[in-house]
Chain A
Amino acid sequence: MDNLDSRIIWQIAIVVRDIKKTAENYARLFGMEMPEILISGLNENESIFYRGNATNAIHKLAFFKMGLIQLELIEPNNEQSTWRDFLDHKGEGVHHVAVFVENEKDALEFLAGKEINPIQRGIFEMGTYNYMDTEEQLGVILSISEKYKNMR
């Protein structure tokens, strides 16, 4: 693999302190329907690994479709996570941009060769994601995953 095989950013994610308030503002200002606020991290099939260790990071999520891009809002709890780190160090803001790759293993190997490693990995019913430590090289965290099953 000479480079990542995808260059389509399909998701932008913002960490916020009060997801209901922020989601209401997006819905109102852009004329979109108020999305359901989902709670993630409670399900037995879900697990999150922060710097290799399992964490009980429960977080609230909301999704908007803005053109072809999905905007994700995330309100983390106080357990260790990259979301919590971001909120504590930078405040509210864009936490990551996400791209899909054909093969997660190949992409992670390629990135490891460039000294880019996962900081957080999440496993949930639709698939997995990897937040990579690309802030130094790309100015933002890159989320890498294979295309999700049954994506809404």
Chain B
Amino acid sequence: METNIISHIAIVVKDINKTAKHYSELFGIPMPEIIYESKETGCCSEYFGKLVNCSYEIAFMRFGIMVLELIHPCSEENVWKDYFDRHGEGVHHIGFNIRDDKNIKFLEDNGMAIVQKTENKMGMNYYFDSNASLGVMIELCQKPQK
């Protein structure tokens, strides 16, 4: 991998408004904007190789060098809903920013399949089946190529 710098950590929650409010109160930070992403907002997801109509709410808060992300899935058939159904609320993945496609192939060559691809305004996001190897899901984020 070209980087070992953790860019963000994402927590799947049931009620994003409520959880964001708790963070805001405990840490004395402004209430983050809660963003809704769906097909209508230009978000496109592929889940186990199949195009899905995926929608979710997301909020970002900065904690030092890292961003803490809250996600609430609003539709079925996505990695966040899978996690929530199996474990309830909790840390869903750890994210890394990458430039080169080689990183994606590297993880695949090491036996970690891509379980979901989500494209939104921020770029392409790849979710890997890394739980058995690393104890957590890994997300690689790639900004749109210029």
The residues of A with any CB-CB pair to B shorter than 8 Å are 2-4, 7-10, 12, 14-16, 22, 25-26, 28-32, 64, 66-69, 71, 73, 90-94, 97, 99, 111, 114, 116, 135, 137-140
Q: Is the CB of A93 within 8 A of B87?
A: yes
Q: Quick one: given A29-B107, A69-B65, A137-B22, are A7 and B134 in contact (CB under 8 Å)?
A: no
Q: How far is the CA of A64 from the CA of B107 in the complex (A)?
A: 19
Q: Which residues of A contact B133 (CB under 8 A)?
A: 22, 25, 29
A12 in contact with B6 (CB, 8 Å): yes
Give the interface of B toward A (CB within 8 A): 1, 4-6, 9, 11-13, 19, 22-23, 25-29, 62-66, 68, 70, 87-91, 94, 106-107, 110, 131, 133-136
A54 to B72 alpha-carbon distance, docked (Å): 37
B20 to chain A, nearest CB (A): 10
Cβ contact of B134, chosen from A2, A22, A111, A135, cutoff 8 A: A22
* Contact among A4, A93, A114, A139 for B135, CB-based, below 8 A: A93
Q: Which residue of B lies closest to A135 (CB)?
A: B89
Q: Known A7-B63, A135-B89; judge A15-B1 contact (CB<8 A).
A: no
| Cβ contact within 8 Å between B64 and A10 | yes
Shortest Cβ gap from B75 to chain A (Å): 20
B66 nearest CB neighbor, chain A only: A9
Sample of 5 A–B contacts (CB below 8 Å): A9-B64, A68-B5, A69-B66, A73-B135, A94-B135
